Amino acid sequence: MHPAYSVIFFTSSSGAGYGALIWLAVFAITGAVVPDTVSGLAVFAVALGLVTAGLLSSTFHLGHPERAWRAISQWRTSWLSREGVAALATYIPVLLFALGWILFESHDGGWRIAAVVSALAAAVTVGCTGMIYASLRAIPRWTDATVVPVYLAFALASGGALAFAILAFFTPMSSVWALAVAAVIAAAWALKFLYWRRIDNAAPVATAESATGLGHIGKVRLFEAPHTGENYIMREMGYRVARKHAARLRLIAALVGGAVPAICFLACAALNGVLVPLLAAIGFAALATGVLVERWLFFAEAEHASMLYYGRSAV
């Protein structure tokens, strides 16, 4: 499919924001970070800023962005609507969590409950985002069982790197958390490689024969193009990236977004002082770049079943 930049930015930025909120809740519950106003303002502003920017950018892909608010009315049947409801609901516990951290400099009592609810709500929202794509049966490679776990894993990886990088500028971070972030990054890319392997080796779900119902006659091929020019379906659903280019981009994404940040956070675990926040910032920047490439590939490599009627033999 044609990769929409607004959706790529949305899934990447909101994932990092929600992931950061989950890590902040973990830090609060475990007492790993002493809450203070300055660090709280910085980390919550960035996390909520990414979430909000991502949600706003997602409306740009709609035909009528001004009607985006109506999407939440279909929550009974639509994962897109459920995502919208979950995203709006998440603001309530997160703002309470931020209030306790920033204004009262506390993680205790009710503020801790707000942290737990914030983490759960953030995870549910990211899960709904993944399910938007995993539920689209017309795009067989998106229905793979690893799609939602990959979305959650990359949210945790990018969010962990972001939260650690910001907090490290204000307070010394334990090497345990640097190792934890490195481990989550490695796990996220391991899941992604599993996804790539599964879609590369997956048998066709639909063919021109099954789509037209003419398989009993024999091999089906396109006799004549349905249009003399390109139409919307061909432009949006027929985008295809060459296999050699996809392989090269996969390698670049894994090296930049996986190897580099993992090394940076492993180094953070072994070092002290000003190098820690610097390395963490570099690690997050590299990871964010790799995630953008990975997310672009997620859309570019997807094959829509509608293209069977435009000459594609199988999807």
Asked if 273 contacts 305 with a C-beta cutoff of 8 angstroms, the reply is: no
Confidence of residue 3 (pLDDT cuts 50, 70, 90): confident
Average pLDDT in the chain: 92
- Spatial distance between the Cα atoms of 265 and 258, rounded to a whole number of angstroms: 11
pLDDT of residue 32: 94
pLDDT over 70 percentage in the chain: 97
What's the whole-number mean pLDDT along residues 261-272?
Answer: 96
Token output for 203: 């048998």
287 has a pLDDT exceeding 70: yes
pLDDT of residue 130: 97
**Residues in CB range of 299: below 8 A, 6 or more apart:** 1, 2, 3, 4, 7, 8
What's the whole-number mean pLDDT along residues 13-20?
Answer: 97
pLDDT of residue 314: 85
Beta bridge partners of residue 184, listed in sequence order: none
Residue identified by tokens 């973990």 is 26
pLDDT of residue 156: 98
Written as one string, the DSSP assignment of 101-126 is HHTS---STHHHHHHHHHHHHHHHHH
Tell me the CA distances in angstroms from 130 to 62, 72, 210, one per residue in order. Answer: 18, 17, 28
pLDDT of residue 62: 66
Q: Which of 132-136, 144-148, 203-207, 251-255 has the lowest mean pLDDT?
A: 203-207
- Predicted TM-score of the model (pTM): 0.93
pLDDT of residue 132: 95
Q: Residue ranges of the alpha helices (H) in 31-78?
A: 37-58
Backbone dihedral angles phi then psi of residue 207, each to the nearest 5 degrees: -130, 170
Token output for 300: 């570019």
What's the whole-number mean pLDDT along residues 19-34?
Answer: 96
38 has a pLDDT exceeding 80: yes
List, for residues 177-207, the tens digit of each pLDDT value.
999 999 999 999 999 999 999 999 998 898 8
List, for residues 88-101, the tens digit of each pLDDT value.
999 999 999 999 99
CATH 3.30.70.100 fits 5-310, yes or no: no
232 has a pLDDT exceeding 80: no
Angle at 264 between CA 258 and CA 270, to 5 degrees: 135
Asked if 103 contacts 124 with a C-beta cutoff of 8 angstroms, the reply is: no
266 has a pLDDT exceeding 90: yes
68 has a pLDDT exceeding 90: no
What's the whole-number mean pLDDT along residues 136-154?
Answer: 96
SS3 for 34?
Answer: coil
The secondary structure of residue 137, as a DSSP letter, is: T
What's the whole-number mean pLDDT along residues 205-231?
Answer: 84
pLDDT of residue 79: 94
65 has a pLDDT exceeding 80: no
* CA-based nearest residue to 130, from 239, 271, 301, 14: 14
Asked if 160 contacts 23 with a C-beta cutoff of 8 angstroms, the reply is: yes
150 has a pLDDT exceeding 80: yes
What's the whole-number mean pLDDT along residues 223-243?
Answer: 79
* CA-based nearest residue to 179, from 73, 85, 263, 295: 263
